[in-house]
Chains A and B, each alone.
Chain A
Amino acid sequence: MDPPKSAVTSLLAAWSKGDPAALDELMPLVYSELHRIARRLWNKHQQGNTLQPTALINEAYLKLAHAENTTFQDRCHFFAVASTAMRQVLVNHAKSRLSAKRGGGNADVPLDELQRAADQEATDIVSLNQALEALETLDPRKSKIVEMRYFGGLSIEETAEALGVSIATVNREWRLARSWLIREMRGESS
């Protein structure tokens, strides 16, 4: 008999065998774990935190999958799911941030550089997310590559492994996807 695997690892296995319901079960776990980690990290280092999304995802994975013995491949599959969750987290955060701005109330608060950069990224991400939804209908794999590279902060190699394609394919599709998105975002603003 197999030793009991963690729920996350079994769900990942089911999902990579093509069971879409597994993803529905997996996503809330990943999403709430990302939230939880973010909360705890906030308590640890309150100031000047420039943690990368990848660090969050890595930590979520270690927690969820009890991952000492898991393979690079397992981890890459998890990253694919976590990137989607990360996209949700960041897009929702961007929207909250922007709507808080519109709501006013705390005007005239001087913004430091980090705040301004975050504002800019919030605006960019909301329009990128929209363009990405359009790309998803045209070419789902390219949209997934962007999700993993941009929102998940994953390397070309990790992205290739998770998607089961060659590094060369990820390289060129990543490039085309970015060109397409940039054109789309410009078209929307002009």
Chain B
Amino acid sequence: MNAGVPWEEVESLYYKALELPVQERIALLASAGPALRQEVESLLEADASIELLNAPPIHLAADFLNAQPGALLAGDRVANYQIESLISIGGMGEVYLARDPARKLVALKVLRRHLSANVQAADRFETEARAASALRHPNIVTVYEFGKSGAGLFIAMEWLDGPTFRTVMEAGEVDITDALEWAAQAAAGLSAAHAGGILHRDIKPENIMLCKDGAVKILDFGLARHGKPLGPDPNSMGASGTISGSLSGTLLYMPPEILRGEAATVSSDVFSLGAFLYELFTGRHPFAGATPLDVLEALESRHVTSAASIRSAVPPEVDQMILRMLDREPDARPSAQEAWQVLRKRKNPAGP
């Protein structure tokens, strides 16, 4: 673009030239000053490709309609937060990367409006917000705000960057020093939740994250309860009540007393954490089975091989502690704090 040429002159010459046959067009342009001429010639040249903008972007419009039903877009606002991008879509809603008014990154969990009307879903969403916001600990995801907006219910949480332990363990054998460090942090987080009177009730590798800075964080307090023992909860058997593929994932971390229909206690969380730690240290799940029924049987009655017999580098006191965490008798299990102390000492053997 030549800034020296008045736009009105460019326009007028361009329109005149377009109306003329080629021969006369050349003559007309030749009579113009060099800057104006160059400007108009380059526009006429681009005119040949003009069909590029003829059709509206219907594929993109269709994609907008198809791909992200109801999803918020970059620039949309939810209360005081501005959406940057969509991170994941789940049955319970979407998780977005967003910015708060101070431009700080947050993870924004939004319960879709049509699910906000579903009492059970809204209740679970609120439970998560209240449970996690009651806790402040470096190994528990921090909740900043819970509220309602035009888009639905939302929870603004600390933005965490990193894989979950499901992904970490799938990537291959975990170094023993790393495993001790991460196990200690996970136990510290659970211990803090219990100290704050919160049961998590859904401890599994999918709900524990390894951040890029090395911090381990417990997430997803959607099934959490305040610590007083409650009666059997039908939800603990999965929303549909059937043993499906996705439930069997959760099933692997479900303590025997819950399977028997008893109330969840802090010891139930300890069992689930123990199953995760076993897997973290050995790469094998203590109750793995080909079918959900096999898993159920294993949880009820299979003898658990010690972690050290699978991987000799597992320190003996850690090995013992994991076995105790997996005891079928809830009262025989250590507390999360006790587990944390064992792991912490082992992590820094020379330390205090």
Q: Do A and B come from one complex?
A: yes
- Mark A residues whose CB is within 8 Å of B: 32, 35, 38-39, 41-43, 46-47, 49-54, 56, 88-90, 92-97, 99-100, 103, 114-115, 117-118, 120-122, 124-125, 128, 138-139, 146, 149-153, 172, 175-176, 178-184, 186-187
Report B-chain residues with C-beta under 8 Å of the C-beta of A32. 150
Main secondary structure of the interface of A (DSSP, over half): helix
Partner of B62 from the list A51, A138, A178 (CB cut-off 8 Å) is: A51
Does A93 contact B75, Cβ atoms closer than 8 Å? no
> With contacts A52-B61, A125-B60, A176-B43 known, is A95 near B1, CB below 8 A?
no
Contact of B85 among A52, A103, A114 (CB under 8 A): A103
Q: Can you list 21 A-B pairs with a CB-CB distance of less than 8 A?
A: A32-B150, A42-B65, A43-B69, A51-B58, A52-B56, A52-B58, A52-B61, A53-B56, A53-B58, A90-B57, A90-B64, A92-B76, A93-B63, A114-B63, A121-B60, A175-B50, A178-B50, A178-B53, A179-B46, A182-B46, A183-B1
Complex alpha-carbon distance, A56 and B58, angstroms: 11
Q: Is the CB of A38 within 8 A of B65?
A: yes
Q: How far is the CB of B227 from chain A (nearest CB, A)?
A: 37
| Distance of A167 from chain B, by nearest CB (Å) | 15
Known: A38-B64, A183-B46, A184-B1. A153 touches B85 (CB 8 A): no
Which 10 pairs, one residue from A and one from B, show the smallest C-beta to C-beta distance?
Answer: A92-B73, A118-B63, A117-B59, A42-B69, A153-B56, A183-B46, A121-B60, A182-B46, A179-B46, A39-B70
Question: Which residues of chain B in 29-74 are interfacial with respect to chain A, using CB atoms and an 8 Å cutoff?
Answer: 42-47, 49-50, 52-53, 56-70, 73-74
Minimum Cβ distance to chain B for residue A138 (Å): 6
- Bound Cα distance A155, B93 (Å): 38
Q: How far apart are A55's CB and chain B's nearest CB, in angstroms?
A: 9
Query: Which residues 196-234 of B have a CB within 8 angstroms of A?
Result: none
Asked if A181 and B69 make an inter-chain contact with CB atoms under 8 angstroms apart, the answer reads no
> Given the complex, which residues of B lie within 8 Å of A93, measured CB to CB?
60, 63-64, 68, 73
User: Known interface pairs A50-B62, A93-B63. Does A176 touch B74 (Cβ–Cβ under 8 Å)?
Assistant: no
- In the assembly, what is the distance between CA of A42 and CA of B71, in Å? 11
A94 touches which of B52, B60, B69, B85 (Cβ 8 Å):
B60
State whether B49 touches A50 (Cβ < 8 A). no
Check if B317 is an interface residue, CB within 8 A of chain A. no
What does DSSP make chain B's interface, helix, strand, loop or mixed? helix
Q: Do B7 and A125 touch (CB < 8 A)?
A: no
- With a cutoff of 8 Å between Cβ atoms, the chain B residues found around residue A152 in the complex are 56
Cα-based distance from A4 to B18 in the complex (angstroms): 49
Contact B64 A89 (CB under 8 A): yes
* B contact residues around A94 at 8 Å (CB): 60
With A and B bound together, what is the CA distance between A13 and B111 in angstroms? 37
Q: Are A146 and B53 touching (Cβ within 8 A)?
A: yes
Docked Cα-Cα span, A47 to B14, in Å, equals 45
Q: How far is the CB of B126 from chain A (nearest CB, A)?
A: 24
The CB with the most chain A CB atoms within 10 A, among B58, B76, B150, is that of B58
Contact (Cβ within 8 A) A180 B43: yes
Given contact pairs A35-B70, A93-B73, A172-B18, a sample of 4 additional A-B residue pairs in the complex whose CB atoms are under 8 Å apart: A90-B61, A100-B85, A117-B59, A182-B50
- How far apart are the CA atoms of A103 and B85 in the complex, in Å? 10
Q: In the assembled complex, which residues on chain B have CB atoms less than 8 Å from the CB atom of A179? A: 14, 43-44, 46-47, 50
Closest Cβ of chain B to A15, distance in Å, is 22
Tell me, rounded to whole Å, the shortest Cβ–Cβ distance linking B38 to chain A. Answer: 12
A122 to chain B, nearest CB (A): 6
B86 at the interface (CB under 8 A from A): yes
Contacts of A181 in B (CB 8 A): 53
Contact B62 A95 (CB under 8 A): no
Q: Which residues of A contact B66 (CB under 8 A)?
A: 42, 46-47, 49
- By a CB distance below 8 angstroms, the chain A residues around B60 are 90, 93-94, 97, 118, 121-122, 125
- CB-defined contacts of A54 to chain B, threshold 8 Å: 56
A183 to B287, CA, bound (A): 65
